[in-house]
Amino acid sequence: KHKIILDCDPGHDDAIAILLAAHHPAIELLAITTVAGNQSVTKTTSNALKVCSLAGIRGVPIAMGMDRPLLRPARYAADIHGESGLDGPHIPAPTLEPVAQHGVDLIIELLLNSAGDITLVPTGPLTNIATAIRREPQILPKIKAISLMGGAIGLGNTTPSAEFNIWADPEAAAIVFGCGRPITMVPLEVTHQALATKEVLHRLREARRTVATFAADLLVFFAETYHKVFGFVDPPVHDPCAVAALIEPEIIQARMMHVAVETTGEWTVGRTVCDVYGKLGNESQVRVGYGLNVPRFWDMLIETLLTYD
Ligand code: BDR
Ligand code: CA
């Protein structure tokens, strides 16, 4: 089993990443930490609690993390995820509560007490992970690997150059990409293949189960905003791809390359500069995804969602 900490900003696709991570037999979900990103950290924390309450996910500590990027003001993605960060279906008030510990402290504690067997799975801005690394560098050798959703080899989705999670906190991303631990980056090139088609929604609904139906309802709202903002017919379900890439590394096609994060460009802040051809001669420190086994991804995700009531 892969022991993981899911560091997220739910967020429609983060919510689905939570559901995948909490019930997939190959994953042991040690904790969920939240960060400001799609919405304020108060809202993303409340959303994580709501999703886990609704799905009956118990015994996984949920800890609120950083409320803003390291250096920049917080900028949310209400155009995609709505004012709550998880607009769309009515979701009952959570029955769960967050733990009192700060998310960054929980990440540090779990790593320091581990045998070096924990993988971090960030699906939001990298503020918590970067802060944990700076605050307690002794966690570094304890991080087994990082499987993150973020970045792009080519076009961004928040600016022409940058993907949202990296753009939201580029300095944090620069710290994480330079941390020296094994990183798998699941960029837009991969996640834009994980499209929630009508057929996917049908498969989620036909079993008439609460949680799979809830996931389908979330994806209907997500589809509407993605259509409005990007003109997409079907929305890309980004964040579960980072979980799937850990469960089954062959589910993505990937190769090693050097990745730098742009933090000063006038037009390019937040760009993940992927040295596909090795032009700079720097160490290839990141496994960058570019392809996805789409049928396999949906089978894995849908099968897991159907294990809930
Ligand atoms: C990423 O940005 C967020 O809006 C999504 O949750 C995902 O993590 C995609 O760019
Ligand atoms: Ca996210």
pLDDT digits (tens, 9 = 90+) for 32-88: 999 999 999 999 999 999 999 999 999 999 999 999 999 999 999 999 999 999 999
CB 144 within 8 A of CB 117: yes
Which among 84, 165, 186, 189 is the best mutation to test ligand 1's pocket, defined by most ligand atoms within 8 Å of the CB? 165
Closest C-alpha to 149, from 134, 171, 179, 129: 129
Question: How far is residue 301's CA from residue 289's CA, in Å, rounded to a whole number?
Answer: 18
DSSP states of 9-53 = --SHHHHHHHHHHHH-TTEEEEEEEE-SSSS-HHHHHHHHHHHHH
User: Pocket around ligand 1: residues whose beta carbon is below 6 Å from it?
Assistant: 11, 13-14, 38, 77, 80, 123-124, 149, 157, 163-165, 238-239
CB 103 within 8 A of CB 78: no
Model pTM above 0.90: yes
Question: How far is residue 50's CA from residue 29's CA, in Å, rounded to a whole number?
Answer: 17
Residue 195: other Cβ atoms inside 10 A: 17
**9 belongs to the catalytic site:** yes
Residues with Cβ within 8 Å of 257's Cβ and at least 6 positions away in sequence, in order, are 274, 275, 276, 278, 284, 286, 288
One-letter amino acid for residue 296 of the chain: R
In ligand 1, the atom with minimum distance to the C-alpha of 123 is 8
Question: How far is residue 7's CA from residue 147's CA, in Å, rounded to a whole number?
Answer: 11
pLDDT tens string 122-156: 999 999 999 999 999 999 999 999 999 999 999 99
Identified catalytic residue from 7, 9, 169, 239 = 9
Q: What is the mean pLDDT of the chain?
A: 98
Question: How far is residue 135's CA from residue 69's CA, in Å, rounded to a whole number?
Answer: 15
pLDDT of residue 145: 99
pLDDT of residue 176: 99
pLDDT of residue 98: 98
Which among 38, 121, 189 is the best mutation to test ligand 1's pocket, defined by most ligand atoms within 8 Å of the CB? 38
**Interval between CA 236 and ligand 1 midpoint (Å):** 9
CB 276 within 8 A of CB 187: no
Q: What tokens appear for 261 in the block? A: 């994060």
**Interval between CA 113 and ligand 1 midpoint (Å):** 30
Which among 121, 127, 149 is the best mutation to test ligand 1's pocket, defined by most ligand atoms within 8 Å of the CB? 149
* Ligand with the closest atom to the CA of 9: 2
**Interval between CA 240 and ligand 1 midpoint (Å):** 11
Q: How many residues does the chain have?
A: 309
Residues with Cβ within 8 Å of 95's Cβ and at least 6 positions away in sequence, in order, are 53
pLDDT of residue 105: 99
- Provide ipTM, 2 decimals: 0.99
- Taking the chain (309 residues) in consecutive chunks of 10 residues, what is each chunk's mean pLDDT? 98 98 98 98 98 98 98 98 98 98 99 98 99 98 99 98 98 98 99 98 97 98 98 98 98 98 98 98 98 98 97
Strand 252-261 to 286-292 pairing: antiparallel
| 3 state SS of 231 | coil
**Interval between CA 81 and ligand 2 midpoint (Å):** 10
